[in-house]
Structure 1
Amino acid sequence: MNKRKRRSWTISIKLWLAMTLLILGVLGGLGLTITWLFGDFYLHQKLDSLRTEATEISAQLATVPSWSERLSLLETFKLTSGTQLVLLDPQGNILVIAGSTSAKAQGVGIGGQFGGIGGLLGGWSRTPLPSDFFTDDNLADVLAGNTISNKALPVNGGEQTMLLAATPVGSKPVQAVVLLGSSPIPIQESIATFRRLIFYASLVAVFLATVVSLIFARQVTRPLALMQKGASRMAKGDFLPIQGVSSQDEIGELAEVLNSMGESLKNHMEWLSQEKNLLQGIVESISDAVVMLGSDGNILYANDTAKALWQEHDVELSERKNQIESFLQSMSQNPDPSENYATFNLGIQVLQVVMAPMAETEGFRGYVAVMRDITASLRAEKARREFLASVTHELRTPLHLIQGYLEAIQDDVVPQNQRGEYIELVLEEAKRLARLVTDLQDINWLERGQSLQPVNLDLKSFLNEVYQRFQGRAHDLGLTLEIAKGNGEIIADPDRLLQVFINLLDNAMRHTPAGKAVRVLFETEENQVRFAIQDEGEGIPREAVPYIFDRFFRVNKARSRKDGGMGLGLAIVRQIVEAHGGNIKVESDMGKGTTFWITLPKEPNNVTVEK
């Protein structure tokens, strides 16, 4: 069922209707009131006039003793226009008729106002006389000495009326009755004329009211329309002041108030925007992940650091997000605030979570959780312990072997013919110690920001030297070594750059099975060169890729330190590449191999070429 559209009335229509109805009501009520009062007043005035006139005629007739003189006197009386005099004897018989009323006033004749005489006057063929309306009761009342006046119907019935006044002539006994009659039609015509006047005046008043109301409504509604548009703009965030309202009345004051309110809202919105930007800037600049939860436990807001926990290349990982939401929801349901502190394992990441409830506002309740990634600090602590254990083991084992072999040689425990073999073992262990010390020195040297010794390096010769170094080892391992031919020059430290390739190629050959290939790819661009060291080994697990360049990090911790090293090689590689102003990244697929990409500028800004 469709709802009926509600009809809207404009202020102009409302003002016009209000003024029109007011004028019509006032004029109509005034016309009815005046008509009723005027008709009643005029009727009584006419009756009083007839009564006075009848009394005067009766008094004059009473002074004349003979009837002949009375009749002569009657001929001298001048009656009021439209008044008829009938002189009756005490028995009600007509003695004299004087005066007359017009046919229009009496309504007689075939074409009179009241129609045919037969229709309204009961078949009369003459002009009605006052005596036709004078009843026996009226006669008895006058013969009793009273003067009467009233509005009466004819004795034989009908709707026509007449104003009567009757008074006795003489007293005890009454000699005659003076009866005056006048038609009320002139009064009725006057009232009808007055009503027409009121009607025409009402039409003129309605027209004037329409014109005035439209002009007035325009003066009133135009500023209101401007203020309505201004308020609509303010609702949309446009706080420009309202123009075009110049009146000094309440409407003008309302426009000033709206402008003042708009200015206040503008300032308040700017302040809120600044506060929001400040707060958002503070939250976004926090290195920790900040998450706001609703009362239902769903995430309402998260800064970029928090989003990075469940997003990868701007793609949301629903499983990780749901895992975080579930953990935070379980924390929010803990009634003990002191226990809203916990650690949470998200894959290989370890998060330290602190949660606090927000102040309840207008029935809304939520929580703020701060999550700090302590994986690096835990790993650093673990690496430090592993480093101490590794260094201790790496130093203790060769030192014990060296010490044991030398003591055996010194005590002549080792036969003379075997001493050369033992000395070679001692030398090998000493070399292992030297490599360990060298790696530690390199890390320390690079971390302290020691300057490189860059020169103009010919890439063709450099890559040829790399090939010559590893060709024999690749042959011994049953591998295919492919190194691209390089062209051009770059500014670099040749010894350090060679160390990068040695570490990467050594790892690639160690993890590539026989029959596979190890490749060194090369491409040059306008301002930089790119190298790729590619193998076909077992690959690196996806979760280990972000930490492959960390110090002391080893993917397969089950491998012996003799085979896998100390986990310092790739850390040294990254330090050397970044010292040249370049970057290194790794791509790996399990079972397909690993590729290390090295990008170096041809002329780094942070190094100085030695002359």
Structure 2
Amino acid sequence: MTRTIFRAIWLISSLTLCLSLFGVGLVSYQYWSQQQERMLDSQLQTLVQIAEQQGEQSLESLDSIDFRLTLVDEEGRVTYDSEKNAKTLMNHGQREEILEAQKTGYGESTRYSTTMTEQTVYRARQLSSGTVLRLAVQFTSFLGTLKQFFGFLLVIFLLSLFAAYYMAKLIAKRIMVPVNKIDLNDPLSSQVYNEFAPLLHRMDFLNETNRSQLQQIQQNEKELQFITDQMAEGLVILNRQDEIMLLNQSAITIFQAVTESKGKPFYQLYHAYDLQQTLTKAKETGRATYLIEEQDRTYQLTMNRVDDEQTYMGLVLLVVDVTEQKRLEKMRREFTANVSHELKTPLQTIMGASELLANNMVPEDKQERFVNHIQAEAKRLLKLIDDVIKLSQLDEQNRPEDEVVDLRAILRPVLDSLQETAQLKDIRLEAKLISAAVKGSTKILTDVFYNLVENAIKYSPADSQVILDMEIVSDQIKITVSDQGEGIALEQQERIFERFYRVDKSHSRKTGGTGLGLSIVKNGVDYHKGQLVLTSQLGQGSQFTVQLPLVVGQEKLTDAASLKL
């Protein structure tokens, strides 16, 4: 702004100086030329009086005339000239001032030289004798005067320009001193020229508006950050230069970033060449996905292009933890493969035995054994199909309306139905049953405890004991099934609830197990929002404890009964 003011002052002062010099010169020249003309008129008047009183010849003897004197007769012939020989001069009858004097008694004219640097002023008056008396004065014209004094005027002009330059610079700086001291945050408190008052009020108004808008923007950013921080998914917003505009808390955790990552290029957040290729694809096609595998977690990164009226603005990246989804997909694939294998084995056995029987290739004394074998494999096949259906129903999580279930009422029939199986192995069943009501599904809970007790019997040695114990702890009911089997190694305890997993596959095949029993137990307990705990050591048997939430008020029931079968 100082430079603008300086240029304006210097330009105005320079123009003013030029006009002033020109004006002073012009006025001075006009004043001087008017003085010359007045002197010419005065001298003419005096000479006319002398000629009228003393005769025209008396003019020829005058020595003190300052101007050129010429006498012209009525026919235009020059009879006398104070500077030249009259006989050598041309006829002046057509001269403007002569014609006018002969016509009106007085004439005047001004004639310039061919270069316009000289001018001659003529004054003429007709005498009573008819002769015209003319006076003339020659002096330099205004243009000639300028040319004559050009060098001097140029020096004065340049000196004046330099003086104006420094004065303009000094004035501009002084003008800007209070302007530069204006407090932009509080302009109304500044001591400055009164002429700036409207500007200061406008600045103050704009400051208030900007502050209000900035506060609103900051508030919106805080709200947006707060909302996005509540998301379980990671959210990253990039501008058109792939710089991070927004990064929520989940994304910070996933990428192990810091909050100062805003404004930095995205490649600094996650280094992967193929990810940069995916970003480029998203910009070109509008959408792209990318899988990130970090340690034991898997994330799906979905990128969407954002446009504003066909103008590319940036990308929105949504990071979703798909670890569980991938795990379930893997389990589903393994489950499908295992089901196919488990179904194929008994079917092959049934087909082989039935073909032998159909072709009369089995002796009569062994046919009954083949038929029994076919029936056993068919039962095993039906059991497998039934267990698969149960697991599928649990996976679907299509919850029927919950009902109040008396655990003692479902445990007694379970124990009764397995009593014969236990007796065949000389295994004693002992149970401590108490009244305990939970909310859930009678069918699912029956399957849970049936599989637990059946599993304990299958893997217990002969002449051993299986114990079922119930205990109320606070607002929970604990049901523990203990056996005296071989126990389960620690490294296998996390896997026994997987589908088709068997600790001893040969023993499981002998006992007719499907490998799905404990999976049904685990899913059934999860279905009821309970907990399943395994306690086992090799050679010391196993304990499976199911803990379920009681119906409100059931924690006070103490009705208990011991049962030995």
| TM-score of Structure 1 vs Structure 2, range by shorter chain | 0.3 to 0.5
TM-score by length of 2: 0.43
